[in-house]
Amino acid sequence: MEIRSSGIKLASGQQSDYTIVVSPACSPSEQYAAEELQEFLKQIAGVRLPILRTPVQGPMLLVGNSPAVGELPVDIDFEALGDEGFVIKTVGPHLVLAGGRPRGTLYACYEFLDKYLGCRWFTPEVSHIPHRDTVDLPHIDYQKIPALEYRDTDYYEACEGQWAARNRLNGHFAHLQEKHGGHITYAGFVHTFNRLVPPEDYFQEHPEYFSEIDGQRTAEQAQLCLTNPDVVEIATDRVHQWLRENPQASIVSVSQNDWYGYCQCDRCRALAEHEGSQAGPILHFVNQIADNIRDEFPDVAVDTLAYQYSRKPPKHVRPRDNVIVRLCSIECCFTHPLASCDSQNNQLFSQDIRQWAEICDRLYVWDYVTDFYHFLVPFPNLHSLQPNVKFFVAHNVRGLFEEGNSSPGGEFAQLRSYLLARCLWDPDCDWEQQMDEFLQAYYGPAAQPIAEYIEMLHQKVAQDDIHLGCCESSNMLATATSAHLTEETISAADRLFDAAEAAVADNMELLARVKAARLPVQFVKIARREEFVPSQLEYRALVNQFTEIARQSGVEHMGLAYDPPDLESWLQSLPPSGGE
């Protein structure tokens, strides 16, 4: 019979009777969880609790599964919690914070600090840790198993390990260490066909290993001949090699190159026609490799893409239970939620994900959250991010990679990193509250005009039904004249940013953040210099201001439309003047 607690007084007046207790056999992440709990309780309540590996007579904060937890009248099914599930539970005077390995207990501590004590980690540099003279806790009986087993983004701002752990990202790109419980690691992250069967090693003697296109075998902008048994054998051997060299990897990518050029030989064509999709040959190929590695690597999954020409699900073949299909949304509109958008691209993608959900037990999604051609163009997709995450989860998606700007800078990169992390962890989170908390913490008194700017852009694309993809145009002027960036909108944006800068004029740190947030508006004005800054003097002043702020805020790359894409090369490519 469990003992119900009516609540506990954890600390008062910088005093506490509590001891943090971990197992004598605790893992590195469980030990670190105790240390993080100790540190933040010190910041919150001014008291530093001891950490012991043996139980004490007084009240305890029990971090992780331990003999002390086993002595309590509480039943916790640790096996059912999996790798990351956990419980937070008051039992008499004690508080249990325990979960599965490798990350469950660490997440229990962060969830406790977040949900019950109000801690927030907005960026690696900006946090909110409340200060309390008294820490009273209600009766708690809380259990969580994350809706998504894989939560990842490559935003530069989100990859810092400490921040990623505290916001419970666990993906390939986060710089997470053993103390953080590690992370989900890929061997070969994506587009691996040419690395599995390198054309430079095989094409000269075995052109039949590569795509036949219009009657000719080629390795230029091509894929593999997926029905060739030798290709299966070579790729299997390479996968074995990768996994032996990367024992930490739990997923290996066997996925098409990042272009079309699929094989049109008689056998590949016949298989694709039988399956009604180019995903058919790919999945037959991947299933064979998954079968071939299962004995040696029973805990490794083989990941492949449903991307562009292979996005449509096959009619007959089904993924093995150790195969992950990553469905890619690259063709979609991102300014409206997938489930309600009236664009044909979104309707077709929604149809595909529903069909994949019926046949794939381990479905991931590769989603896109910026304009990849122009990292600094205003891209109003914030209102779509949470509805899309919820749509994915509702359709059997178990892992989600949100591809952003992997270099410093980018439009609202810090805000997107935080909101994505919060939503991947809890798809039903209060999105407006999360955004408001971030804006207040990150921009201070400038939060309100920046919030109005964000809302203005999003209302524009909603009211005018403006659809934007993640690679709209490689032309800077065409991008900067998108339908949501009207002269009226940019003029209103300038007024709002003037107000934002004035609100923080006496705080250089906040002012620098506001000026960095203004870069996308200045980007549009530079691109449309004849419209906004017709005089040479005004144009050069704007470019100089943009340059100084971009450098100070760490902007490195401007987008995939530029070659090379670095900031300095982009600046040199600008016209010398805007005219007299």
Q: DSSP string spanning 185-201?
A: -EES-S--HHHHS-HHH
Residue 214 lies in a domain: no
Residue 559 lies in a domain: yes
Q: What is the CA radius of gyration of the chain?
A: 26
Percent of the chain with pLDDT over 90: 97
| 169 and 106, same domain (yes or no) | no
Burial class of residue 563, CB neighbours in 10 A (0-12, 13-18, 19+): exposed
- pLDDT of residue 1 exceeding 80, the answer is no
Task: Return the structure tokens found at 255.
Answer: 């996925």
- pLDDT of residue 282 exceeding 70, the answer is yes
pLDDT of 132-172, one tens digit each?
999 999 999 999 999 999 999 999 999 999 999 999 999 99
**C-alpha distance from residue 190 to each of 220, 308, 326 (Å):** 18, 14, 10
Residue 360 lies in a domain: yes
Is residue 20 a contact partner of residue 33, using CB atoms and an 8 Å limit? no
Which residues are paired to 127 by β-bridges? 121
- Residue 4 CA to residue 11 CA, distance in Å, equals 20
pLDDT band at 7 (very low <50, low <70, confident <90, very high): confident
Is residue 310 a contact partner of residue 331, using CB atoms and an 8 Å limit? no
Residue 436 lies in a domain: no
pLDDT at 181: 98
pLDDT of 363-379, one tens digit each?
999 999 999 999 999 99
Helix (H, G, I), strand (E, B) or coil at 303: strand
pLDDT at 4: 55
Across 463-489, b (16+ Cβ under 10 Å) vs e yields eeebbbbbebbeebeebbebebbeeeb
- Asked if residue 50 has a cis previous peptide bond (ω within 30° of 0), the answer is no
| 263 and 124, same domain (yes or no) | no
pLDDT of 98-120, one tens digit each?
999 999 999 999 999 999 999 99
| 134 and 187, same domain (yes or no) | no
Sign of CA dihedral 379, 383, 389, 395: negative
Describe the strand order of the beta sheet including 397-403 as a list of residue ranges.
150-153, 397-403, 363-368, 323-328, 301-306, 251-253, 186-187
| 320 and 372, same domain (yes or no) | yes
Number of domains comprising the chain: 3
Residue 271 lies in a domain: yes
CATH number of 333's domain: 3.20.20
pLDDT of 306-343, one tens digit each?
999 999 999 999 999 999 999 999 999 999 999 999 99
- pLDDT of residue 296 exceeding 80, the answer is yes
- pLDDT of residue 217 exceeding 60, the answer is yes
Helix (H, G, I), strand (E, B) or coil at 393: helix
Bridging pattern class, strands 19-21 and 86-91 = unpaired
| 410 and 477, same domain (yes or no) | no
Q: What is the distance, to the nearest Å, from the Cα of residue 15 to the centroid of all Cα atoms in its chain?
A: 40
pLDDT of 440-483, one tens digit each?
999 999 999 999 999 999 999 999 999 999 999 999 999 999 99
Residue 504 lies in a domain: yes
**In sequence order, which ranges of 246-359 are alpha helices (DSSP H)?**
266-275, 279-293, 344-359
Three state DSSP letters for 61-129: EEECCCHHHHCCCCCCCHHHHCCCCEEEEEECCEEEEEECCCCHHHHHHHHHHHHHCCCEECCCCCEEC
Is residue 64 a contact partner of residue 20, using CB atoms and an 8 Å limit? no
pLDDT at 5: 56
| 17 and 41, same domain (yes or no) | yes
Range of the domain at 552: 446-573
Helix (H, G, I), strand (E, B) or coil at 218: coil
Is residue 440 a contact partner of residue 447, using CB atoms and an 8 Å limit? yes
What DSSP string runs through 529-563? HHHH--SHHHHHHHHHHHHHHHHHTT--B--TTSS
User: What residues have CB less than 8 Å from 73, skipping those under 6 apart?
Assistant: 1, 2, 3, 91
pLDDT at 155: 97
Consecutive H or E run containing 401: strand 397-403
pLDDT at 578: 45
CATH number of 42's domain: 3.30.379.10
pLDDT band at 381 (very low <50, low <70, confident <90, very high): very high
| 127 and 238, same domain (yes or no) | no
| 183 and 283, same domain (yes or no) | yes
Bridging pattern class, strands 216-217 and 212-213 = antiparallel
Is residue 344 a contact partner of residue 380, using CB atoms and an 8 Å limit? no
CA angle (541, 544, 547) in 5-degree steps: 150
- pLDDT of residue 361 exceeding 70, the answer is yes
DSSP 566: B
| 114 and 185, same domain (yes or no) | no
- Residue 437 CA to residue 433 CA, distance in Å, equals 6
| 91 and 27, same domain (yes or no) | yes
Residue 416 lies in a domain: yes
pLDDT at 576: 80
Residue 165 lies in a domain: yes
pLDDT band at 580 (very low <50, low <70, confident <90, very high): very low
| 288 and 185, same domain (yes or no) | yes
| 108 and 42, same domain (yes or no) | yes
pLDDT band at 575 (very low <50, low <70, confident <90, very high): confident
Mean pLDDT of the residues in the chain: 96
- Quick one: which of 364, 374, 382 has its CA closest to 418? 382
